[in-house]
Amino acid sequence: MHRLLLLSSLWLLLAPPASSIFQRPTGSPAPPRLQYLLEPLHAAVHTQRGATATLPCVLRALPRNYRVKWSKVEPANYRESIIIITNGLYHKNYGPLSPRVRLRHSHRYDASLTITDVALEDEGRYRCQLVNGLEDESVSLTLHLEGIVFPYQPSNGRYKFNYHEAKRACEQQDSRLATYQQLYKAWTEGLDWCNAGWILDGTVHYPIINSREPCGGRLLLPGVRSYGARDKQKDRFDAFCFTSALQGSQVYFIRGHLNFKEAGQACRNHGAAIAKVGQLYSAWKFSQLDRCDGGWLADGSVRYPITTPRERCGGLPDPGVRSFGFPSKELRTYGTYCFAGK
C-alpha cells in the first residue's frame, strides 16, 4: 500500500501540467490573461535622448507577499537584465541603469518605472513581472527613441570591422550599433546602402531601395537583405550606427581653410569640441542643419549636411550627409563642424 502511494506521488510530481494533457474544448472562453496587472494602454513609449521617460506598470489589486521585478531584454544576447525589484515597501536597483531609474509610485498600486536622462542604450524591450508564486504574470513595453541610422566605415576602407570593432566605432561617434528594427525603419524611410554592416544582435544586413547589379542584381526585390549571424571575431563588415537628438546641444560650422589640428583648436577656442559623425547626422535630421561647406569631423573625415538638395551642393536629388572621405589631415582646405553640449 505504501509502495502504491509513493509511486502515485512520484507520478504527480513528474507528470506534465494538466493543461498539456487535457485540451480546452474548442470555442470555450480563454481564462483572463492578467489577474493583478493592468494591460498598458500603449505598448510603446516614445522619448528622446536626455529626457525622462516612464514605463507604466499598474496593479489592480495587491496580492499577499508579492514582488514586482523590472528587467530589460538585451538584443545582443537575448537575455534579461534585472533593473529593479520591489515588494511595495522596499526596493533594490541592479545593473548599469541603477543610478538613473526609480519607481514612480504615485499611488500604492503604481509600480511604473521612471528612467532619467535617457541614453541611446536604453532603447529596447522591458518587462514588468509580478512574482506571486504560481500566479506570476507580466507585461512587456518598448521604449523607442526618435533617431537616425547611418552607415559607417573607417578611413582604411570598407569591410574592416569585426563585430566588437564595429560596436566600439559607433560608440566613438556618439551612437551605438543599430537594432534590426531601427535599420528596418530607416530602410522604409529611404536608407539605400550597398555595403553590408553589423547590427547590435551580431547579424549582418544591408538596406536596398533601388535594386541594381552591384547590390545583388536587378531581379531581387528591394528590402533589408541579410547575411544572417556571422563570426563576431573573424568576419569583417561595415557598421550601421544609430544616434538620436540630444537635448540642449548644438552643431555649428566655422568657416576657414584649416587642417585637422587647426579645426579641433578652432572649436576649442569657442568652448566646443569638434563634432562626431553621429552628432552631425543628428543635427541634420533633427535641427535641419543645411550647409554646402565641407567640414572636418572628429574621426578625420570631411562631410557636409544637405536638407535642401541643389545642383551646386553635390547635385544629388535626395537630402543627406555627403562625404569627402578621409583626406590628408595636413590639408588646409576645409572649415570645421563643432559640437556644443549641455
Res. 150: pLDDT tops 90: yes
Predicted pLDDT of residue 308: 95
Is residue 20 within 8 Å of residue 69, measured between CB atoms?
Answer: no
- Position 341 confidence tier, pLDDT thresholds 50, 70, 90: confident
Predicted pLDDT of residue 312: 87
Predicted pLDDT of residue 136: 86
| pLDDT one-digit tens code per residue, 62-71 | 988 899 999 9
Average pLDDT, the chain: 88
- Position 31 confidence tier, pLDDT thresholds 50, 70, 90: very low
Residue 91, phi then psi, degrees to nearest 5:
-145, 160
Res. 7: pLDDT tops 50: no
Nearest Cα neighbor of 282 from 124, 123, 118, 149 is: 149
- For residue 179, the number of C-alpha atoms closer than 13 Å in the C-beta half-sphere is 20
| CA distance linking residue 273 with residue 155, whole number of Å | 21
Cell numbers 590639408 label which residue? 331
Is residue 138 within 8 Å of residue 37, measured between CB atoms?
Answer: yes
| CA distance linking residue 104 with residue 289, whole number of Å | 37
| pLDDT one-digit tens code per residue, 90-136 | 999 999 999 999 999 999 999 999 999 999 999 999 999 999 876 78
| CA distance linking residue 169 with residue 154, whole number of Å | 8
The shares of helix, strand and coil residues in the chain, as percent rounded to the nearest 5, are 20, 35, 45
**What is the pLDDT averaged over residues 187-205?**
96
Res. 214: pLDDT tops 90: no
Cell digits for 342?
549641455
Q: Which residue has the higher pLDDT, 316 or 126?
A: 126
- Position 213 confidence tier, pLDDT thresholds 50, 70, 90: confident
Predicted pLDDT of residue 302: 98
Res. 160: pLDDT tops 60: yes
Residue 29, phi then psi, degrees to nearest 5:
-65, 140
> Where exactly are the structural domains of the chain?
37-145, 147-243, 246-340
| CA distance linking residue 28 with residue 269, whole number of Å | 74
Same topology between domain 37-145 and domain 147-243: no
Is residue 73 within 8 Å of residue 125, measured between CB atoms?
Answer: yes
Predicted pLDDT of residue 74: 80
Nearest Cα neighbor of 161 from 241, 229, 228, 238 is: 238
Identify the DSSP state of 258.
E
Range 37-145 classified under CATH 1.10.540.10? no
| pLDDT one-digit tens code per residue, 263-304 | 999 999 999 999 999 999 999 999 999 999 999 999 999 999
Is residue 292 within 8 Å of residue 305, measured between CB atoms?
Answer: no
Fold topology of 246-340: Mannose-Binding Protein A; Chain A (3.10.100)
Please give the order of strands across the beta sheet that includes 113-115.
Answer: 53-55, 113-115, 101-103
| CA distance linking residue 132 with residue 68, whole number of Å | 9
Predicted pLDDT of residue 201: 93
Q: What angle do CA 56, 49, 191 make, to 5 degrees?
A: 105
* CA distances in angstroms from 155 to 44, 245, 276, listed in the order given: 38, 25, 14
**What is the pLDDT averaged over residues 71-91?**
87
Q: Element (H or E) spanning 115, and its range?
A: strand 113-115
| CA distance linking residue 130 with residue 139, whole number of Å | 9
Range 147-243 classified under CATH 3.10.100.10? yes
Does the global pTM surpass 0.95? no
**What is the pLDDT averaged over residues 203-216?**
92
| CA distance linking residue 243 with residue 121, whole number of Å | 10
